[in-house]
Amino acid sequence: MALRRIRQYGDDILKKKSKPVVKFDETLHNLLDDMWETMHEFDGLGMAAPQVGVLRRAIILETEEEQYELINPVIVETDGQDVKTEACLSVPNKQGDVERPMFVKVEAYDRHENPVTIATDDDMLVTALCHEIDHLDGILFIEKATNIQPRPTDEEVAESNKRIKGNPRRALKILNNKDNKKDNKKVAARA
Ligand SMILES: [Zn+2]
């Protein structure tokens, strides 16, 4: 495994549409392994292949319970509407509110080309799925977002971790909710 460079806002590759994965081979497996390593290094909760400069339809997501690798994901059903706070590894130090469904059903494949279906109304997972699949179509959350604000810096998060101790992601969420008193159900996924 190896760390890959995360492409940042302004890089044209982030605006391009990714192509479907055709070969579920070692190249794909290496890409996915590197994406996990890179995402964890930068404390992300999700990542799409174009964020490391590869225009292929592959995303990874992590919740507290589960890890997902989704190849050629397609949203086949949505329901409801909600506004969620999001952030992105490719758009440092910014967060904003984006309108997303409350429920999504996604069909995809795993790295061995087995079909996978996810149907969920979990806030974080719905947001992350929509956010990552948008990346595959060259869309960044910041282009859809309202109420764009500076995001707490890593130093602020580290400081908060020292005080809270325990899961750094939980600390991040607490920090975020503190800044967002309107609706403490909102969760910012840095994805
Ligand atoms: Zn993103």
Higher pLDDT among residues 68 and 152, named by residue: 68
For residue 181, give every residue at least 6 positions away whose Cβ sits within 8 Å of its Cβ, in sequence order, or none. Answer: none
Please tell me which residue in 132, 143, 155, 156 is annotated as part of the active site.
132
Higher pLDDT among residues 189 and 110, named by residue: 110
How remote is the CA of residue 32 from the centroid of ligand 1, in Å?
16
Domains and CATH numbers, the chain: 12-190 (3.90.45.10)
For the chain, percent helix, then strand, then coil, each to nearest 5? 35, 30, 35
How remote is the CA of residue 148 from the centroid of ligand 1, in Å?
15
For residue 142, give every residue at least 6 positions away whose Cβ sits within 8 Å of its Cβ, in sequence order, or none. Answer: 9, 88, 91, 94, 96, 148
Mean per-residue pLDDT, 108-118 = 98
Examine the pLDDT at 99 and tell me if it is beyond 60.
yes
| pLDDT tens by residue, 137-160 | 999 999 999 999 998 776 776 776
Higher pLDDT among residues 72 and 64, named by residue: 72
Examine the pLDDT at 63 and tell me if it is beyond 80.
yes
What span, in angstroms and rounded, lies between the C-alpha atoms of 174 and 108?
A: 32
H or E stretch at 126: helix 123-136
**Of 2-6, 15-19, 182-186, minimum mean pLDDT range:** 182-186
Residue ranges near ligand 1 (ion) with Cβ within 5 Å: 88, 191
Higher pLDDT among residues 183 and 104, named by residue: 104
Compute the chain's Rg from CA coordinates. Answer: 16
Catalytic residue flag (residue 132): yes
